[in-house]
Structure 1
């Protein structure tokens, strides 16, 4: 990945709706160069797709929590696959420290959030969890 790729990605992360023409103008290269770099970044899976991020309130999922998960190391892959099947889980990260995974869970109410957390806790291979509910959003850089 060269400097142009890094600058292109920085612009796309800032505003993924920029046109090829605008990207070329800002990077001071031709449209063809920008298109070729984007194609190469897509082929190499550095750019893995384009999406719309909706505010959780629009989705009626106003309650959000992080669930820290400690799991049997021999069953970690199976645990991850089972968690992936739970629709309320928005992201799952492997983490360092006392816990192995961190799941971000979003739901409409605290009651439905509790049900989703119960689904996670009941997965075979999970040894313990710790849940923190988000109280307010201070900022979001993504």
Structure 2
């Protein structure tokens, strides 16, 4: 992946509906070169899909990351349990002291506390640490 691929990805992240013509103007490549690069990024699964980010302005959005620390279990065991929560957007097994990082988006602090409470009660769960999202930047 070179600087052109990174520029293309940044533009698509900002707006997945950006036309190939617009991208080609912004990165100074021909339209066919940009289309080919996008095709290659899709085939190599760097681009895994295009999604609409939809917000209901009537509903506040609470976003947080939960750091999970547990013993005698595999990440996959907990991932299966977390599929029950539609508010959980992503589970990541990561390196270091933390066993798993969980991204949560919900409509209230009360619901976040419920989800956290259920996760804390899982067998083998030693500790759950919450990080609230206070600001986001698009890349």
Question: Above 0.5 in TM-score?
Answer: yes
Q: What is the CA distance between 1:82 and its match in structure 2?
A: 2.1
State the TM-score, normalized to the length of structure 1: 0.76
Residue 51 of structure 2 corresponds to: 51
Residue 34 of structure 2 corresponds to: 34
Structure 2: unaligned runs, 5 residues or longer: none
- Report how many residues are paired: 138
Residue 115 of structure 2 corresponds to: 116
Could you report, residue by residue, the CA deviation over 1:64-104 in whole angstroms, capped at 9, with x for unpaired residues? 33322102254222112322442111232334443212223
3-state DSSP of counterpart to 1:131? strand
Q: What is the CA distance between 1:117 and its match in structure 2?
A: 1.6
Structure 1: unaligned runs, 5 residues or longer: none
Residue 75 of structure 1 corresponds to: 74
Residues 116 and 128, structure 2, Cα contact 8 Å, conserved in 1: no
Could you report, residue by residue, the CA deviation over 1:16-56 in whole angstroms, capped at 9, with x for unpaired residues? 3321111122233322221111111001000111112245x
Q: What is the CA distance between 1:132 and its match in structure 2?
A: 4.2
Would the alpha carbon gap of residues 37 and 74 (structure 1) be closer, same or farther in structure 2, given more than 3 Å must change? same
State the TM-score, normalized to the length of structure 2: 0.77
Residues 16 and 51, structure 2, Cα contact 8 Å, conserved in 1: no
Residue 20 of structure 1 corresponds to: 20
